Amino acid sequence: MMKALLAASACIIALGAQAQDLPAEYAEKGKVVAANTPNYPPMEYRDPATNELMGLDIDLGNALAKHLGTQIEWSEIGFEQMVPSLNTGRIDLVLSGMSDLPARRETMDFVDYMTSGAQFYVSAKRAGEFKELTDFCGKTVGMSRRTSFPDEAAKWSAENCEAKGKPALVVVGTEGSADARTQLKQGRLDGAVQGSETLPYLLQLEPDTYAIVGTPFTSVYQGIGFGKDAPELRDAFAAALKALMDSGEYKTIFEKYGLTGAMLDTVMINGEAVK
């Protein structure tokens, strides 16, 4: 009997992910409201010339909404307010470079759409000082305090610096990635950390200014966040994402931003593949 129940449950999950229609309450409104903070290029940002909202997350969200026959309304709110806004119903989903972390799954569900990782970088003029990641031991490194990077960097330091008798990484929480870059240019930081998906764009935007050091020291999925009370909406977006993958539109969006290396080859919910 238990095996039969588990099999039925798995079938329900798979069928739910195949449902193409929006739940009636969202279809009637004619839109879904998505939280976004446009300060994380190339994922989300405003064109300096036109102030138009742009980025991979924006293109992907618009494409998903179009497939579902609705509109997506972007609600610009602070990153720290996204989860409370989702839980109170102010927004319907979060699509803003948010990592799918186990702790966040306690109050949210995620439809994962790409991979990411925390990446060290320095000013180009100091690149010669940092040949290996452990060269950051004892150095002052900045990263957005609103992200998981400070905790991840501290964990990396414990395992790769302190555990080997080297001085600890000095983690500085900044107001965002732009603030970290400003402090790096001012010489107040030895290095900085950003998501690996953002650095190729940054190096293109400001040539000869920064240098990437090594490879990402973490690996995580980025996901579209949904409330625990909205599984039907979650599954509708998962199905739409699969449709975009199958049609090639998903790949086209990632190619546009030079991030094909971050693509997934299957739809995932909370880090698990959906069949």
Q: Return the structure tokens found at 197.
A: 């998906």
pLDDT for 164 equals 97
Reference 118, options 60, 198, 228; nearest CA is 198
pLDDT bucket at 147, cuts 50 / 70 / 90? confident
- How much of the chain, in percent, has pLDDT values that exceed 70? 93
Closest CA to 209 of 126, 129, 124: 124
DSSP letters along 75-107, please?
EE--GGGHHHHHHTTS-SEE-SS-B--TTGGGT
Q: Count structural domains, the chain.
A: 2
- Chosen domain end from 212, 240, 255: 212
pLDDT at 98 over 60: yes
Please tell me the predicted confidence (pLDDT) of residue 20.
Answer: 60
Domain of residue 77, residue span? 2-113+221-273
Asked if 87 contacts 260 with a C-beta cutoff of 8 angstroms, the reply is no
Q: What is the dihedral of CA 219, 127, 173, 109, to 10 degrees?
A: -20
* Helix, strand, or coil (residue 1): coil
Would strands 220-227 and 272-273 be described as parallel, antiparallel, or unpaired? unpaired
Lowest mean pLDDT among 9-18, 21-30, 122-131, 136-145: 9-18
Question: Which tens digits make up the pLDDT trace of 218-256?
Answer: 999 999 999 999 999 999 999 999 999 999 999 999 999
Domain co-membership, 174 together with 225: no
pLDDT at 232: 97
pLDDT class of 19 with cuts at 50, 70, 90: very low
Same domain, 9 and 97: yes
Q: Mean pLDDT across the chain, nearest whole number?
A: 91
170-183 tens-digit pLDDT: 999 999 888 999 99
Q: Do 165 and 194 reside in the same domain of the chain?
A: yes
Looking at the fold, whether 12 and 87 belong to one and the same domain comes out as: yes
Order of strands, sheet of 118-123, starting from the edge strand that comes earlier in the sequence? 170-174, 140-144, 191-195, 118-123, 210-212
Same domain (yes/no): 93, 157: no
Q: Are residue 26 and residue 108 in the same domain, yes or no?
A: yes
pLDDT recorded at residue 56: 97
Lowest model confidence (mean pLDDT) among 16-20, 42-46, 62-66, 170-174: 16-20
Predicted local distance difference test score (pLDDT) of residue 148? 87
> What letter represents residue 272's amino acid?
E
- In b/e form, how buried is each residue of 69-98, taking b as 16+ CB within 10 angstroms? ebebebbebebeebbebbeeeebbbbbbbb
| Count, residues in the chain | 275
165 and 249 belong to one structural domain: no
Considering the domain architecture, whether residues 80 and 58 belong to the same structural domain is answered as yes
What are the angstrom distances between the C-alpha of 117 and each of 98, 126, 149, 161? Answer: 12, 23, 9, 19
Match 């969006």 to its residue by tokens: 253
Q: What is this structure's pTM?
A: 0.80
**What average pLDDT does this structure show over 165-192?**
96
Q: Which positions ≥6 away from 160 have C-beta within 8 Å? A: 133, 134, 137, 166
Q: Can you tell me the mean pLDDT for 8-29? A: 62
Same domain, 23 and 84: yes
Give the H/E segment covering residue 73: strand 71-76
Residues 53 and 102 in one domain: yes
User: CATH number, domain at 181?
Assistant: 3.40.190.10
Torsion angle defined by CA atoms of residues 116, 118, 122 and 127, in that order, rounded to the nearest 10 degrees: -80
What's the confidence (pLDDT) of residue 8?
34
